[in-house]
């Protein structure tokens, strides 16, 4: 099962699964868009937050407190924690 399949919003869950599949093979810290400065770390942080709030019965955690972003740089590892 993909990481976001249990989302209360199936469309958002499917989009997050596609984004996770896009981000997963990226090297940590890779620049995705030079103009905006968007990096793989940014996308992973967004996905971690979305993963923590994907179900309405789950209260989202403060991602910075819950996950040490230096030790988790890719989506698959953080989405399982």
Q: What is the pLDDT of residues 19-57, one digit of tens each?
A: 999 999 999 999 999 999 999 999 999 999 988 888 865
Residue 68 burial (10 A CB sphere; 0-12, 13-18, 19+): exposed
pLDDT at 78 over 90: no
Domains of the chain, residue spans: 10-79
Residue 33 sits at φ, ψ, to 5 deg, of: -140, 110
For the stretch 51-65, pLDDT in tens is 888 886 544 444 445
Query: In this predicted structure, what is the pLDDT of residue 72?
Result: 47
d(CA 67, CA 7): 20
Question: DSSP class of residue 32?
Answer: E
């Amino acid at each position: 099962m993909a990481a976001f399949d249990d989302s209360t919003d199936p469309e958002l869950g499917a989009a997050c699964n596609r984004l996770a599949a896009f981000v997963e093979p990226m090297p940590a810290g890779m620049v995705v868009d030079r103009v905006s400065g968007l990096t793989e770390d940014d996308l992973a942080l967004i996905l971690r937050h979305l993963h923590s709030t994907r179900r309405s019965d789950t209260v989202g955690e403060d991602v910075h407190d819950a996950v040490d972003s230096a030790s988790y740089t890719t989506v698959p590892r953080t989405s399982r924690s």
